[in-house]
């Protein structure tokens, strides 16, 4: 068990790592990002650290770009199919 400072308890508490899906909004799109957070065992509050947050931002934008590329690919595919249909 790791002891970390909990801002809510204003004390060092035992924490546990928890895997979660956090949803961030980027340009009006909801981007779900898997994250590992530390949770205070005393009050149940999620502990944030700055390092994680800057890393998070990076991951959110990576996920956003991946989703945007996917959307573009699907759009291109659909456009392609639509063209084919008109040709016939
Ligand atoms: Zn706490």
pTM above 0.85, yes or no: no
- Compute the C-alpha angle 57/58/64, nearest 5°: 90
Q: What is the mean pLDDT of residues 36-42?
A: 92
Inform me whether the pLDDT recorded for 88 exceeds 70: no
Question: Rounded CA gap, 39 and 14, in Å?
Answer: 9
Inform me whether the pLDDT recorded for 87 exceeds 70: no
What residues pack around ion ligand 1 (CB closer than 5 A)? 6, 8-9, 13, 40, 42-43, 45
Please give the distance, rounded to the nearest whole angstrom, from the Cα atom of residue 1 to the centre of ligand 1.
14
The pLDDT, as a whole number, for residue 50 is 64
Q: Are 54 and 78 in contact (CB under 8 A)?
A: no
| Residue in this structure with the two tokens 């934008």, named with its chain if needed | 61
Where in the chain are the domains?
A: 2-87
Distance of CA 70 to the CA centre of its chain: 17
Please give the distance, rounded to the nearest whole angstrom, from the Cα atom of residue 52 to the centre of ligand 1.
18
CA atoms lying within 13 Å on the CB side of residue 61: 5
Q: Which residue has the higher pLDDT, 52 or 55?
A: 55
């Amino acid at each position: 068990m790791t002891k970390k400072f909990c801002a809510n308890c204003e004390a060092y508490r035992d924490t546990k790592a928890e895997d979660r899906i956090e949803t961030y909004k980027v340009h009006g799109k909801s981007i779900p990002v898997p994250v590992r957070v530390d949770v205070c065992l005393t009050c149940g509050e999620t502990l944030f650290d700055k390092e994680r947050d800057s890393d998070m931002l990076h991951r959110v934008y990576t996920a956003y770009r991946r989703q945007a590329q996917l959307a573009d690919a699907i759009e291109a595919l659909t456009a392609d199919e639509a063209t084919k249909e008109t040709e016939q």
